[in-house]
Amino acid sequence: MKIHINLSSEPFRRDRPFVVATVALGSLLTMTLFALTYLAIAGRDEALDARQEVQKARGQLEALTKIQGALQQQLYQPQNAEVIERSVFLNKLLLRKGISWTRIFADLEKVLPNKVRIIQVRPAITTSNDVYLEMDVASQSSEPVIDMLMRLEGSEQFGATHVATWLPPSQTEPMYRYRINVNYAQKF
């Protein structure tokens, strides 16, 4: 019978791999802590710079708003009202002059039936810079005008049409007269 006697107070254990792994993990966590600390400090500095830039931009915006207010106050004085009205009139006139009459009539020629006569064309410009045509047309009967309306709606240059008014023949006017509103694809 053999008796095993251990004279040490604690038995021998293989702790070296555990200690090495713990030291390696501790050093990795320490390096990660330093990296995250560095990134936090750098982010704080960048945020400070961004706040300073925003503050600077707000100051510039306030200065420009004050200048704009002063200019608007000067612009809307009673003695300047005539200049503003003239400026608005000239701008509208320039927009109307920018409409190509040659192109309008060339496009109308493609969709106009032979028996329909154009009496008047008035272009207008919408707020979205689209051209809107108001036309007065005449014909011996209403069928050619209906054909023209279908051709206008089927054309790429023209859009939705709307007959605003129409007049039947009378003693002084032997033709049917129509006032047609149509969107036109000419842009500026």
pLDDT of residue 147: 92
pLDDT of residue 12: 65
DSSP 76: T
d(CA 58, CA 64): 10
pLDDT of residue 73: 85
pTM: 0.49
pLDDT of residue 90: 80
pLDDT of residue 65: 94
Tokens found for residue 125? 């410009």
pLDDT of residue 10: 64
Mean pLDDT for back-to-back runs of 10 residues, the chain (188 residues):
67 80 95 95 90 94 94 82 81 74 88 91 80 91 91 88 90 91 77
d(CA 103, CA 180): 19
